[in-house]
Homo-oligomer: A and B are copies of this chain.
Amino acid sequence: MAGQGGCPVILVNGQPSQSLPVADRGLQYGDGLFETLRVEAGEPLHWSRHLSRLQTGCERLGIPPPDAAVLHHEALTVLQGQPRGVLKIMVTRGSGPRGYRPPAAPAPTRILAWNAPAAAPSLTVSEGVDVRLCRMRLSRNPALAGIKHLNRLEQVMARSEWSDAFQEGLMLDTSGQVVEGTMSNLFLVRDDALVTPDLSHCGVAGITRARVMERARAWGVSCQEDSVRVEDLWRADGLFLTNTLIGLWPVRSLEGHPVSVPPLVARLQQAL
């Protein structure tokens, strides 16, 4: 198993491989789930939270979840002692005959891939990011909301709308609610309290989002999940984004208009 030449180290069902059968339902239908974990000091961070979300997703889709011990062993194998980087885990319903109907006894596919660490955030990013509003909308479907499934065309289309002028784009759903960034969750600061969009119709329930909510509440800071509209963004005292790899990004501008960064945001950024 080699990780040279820029190729990520990949294990497919425990075996070193760079490829997957064409018949895999992950490719055919996006019939699966994924997790992206940050690796520090040779350990995938917040392992049990990611595992729990993966298991929840498997239950929702009716995919037999991977054995937790096997998955952790494979994670450490694929890291090969690398101290830092990104671990991506995918679980699909595996191969099957043609057609949407899931096999009665699916043999799910586990894919674990180690990637080099994302580029270190620039000073600009730690001070605040420039954010835009995407034209592409998220569709609403409670049956698929919250989990990190492989049907990600909406995020791909949203992310194709701009090049490098912004670090992230916020997405509204088809009913006009603000939901999240293409790869991050959103928080609003309002009167020393936090609001984050309700994800019961769409969006991914992020691990860092959950950690921020817990931390805020532990500090006695109110944190509500609520519907958010674009006008709420303009009225907020501050905005920030969360993501497993980046942690917390204060928003310093939205659509080119300056956004202030309240002290609570810096305090949360430190705490994470």
Contacts and interface: CB of A to CB of B under 8 A. Distances in A.
A152 interface: yes
A215 interface: no
Interface in A77-101: 86, 88, 90, 92-93, 98-101
Nearest to A6: B97
B31 A152 contact: yes
Nearest to A150: B30
A153 B20 contact: no
Nearest to A112: B22
Contact of A141 (B88, B115, B154): B154
Central interface residue in A10, A12, A154, by most chain B CB within 10 Å: A154
Contact of A157 (B24, B61, B113, B150): B61
Central interface residue in A19, A93, A102, A144, by most chain B CB within 10 Å: A19
Interface stretch (A43-51, A65-73, A132-140, A251-259): A132-140
Contacts of A160: 62, 101-102
Contact of A183 (B28, B30, B99, B150): B99
Interface in A89-132: 90, 92-93, 98-102, 111, 113, 115
A31 B152 CA distance: 7
A154 B159 contact: no
Interface of A: 8, 10, 12, 17-31, 34, 61-62, 86, 88, 90, 92-93, 98-102, 111, 113, 115, 136-144, 149-160, 174, 182-183, 202
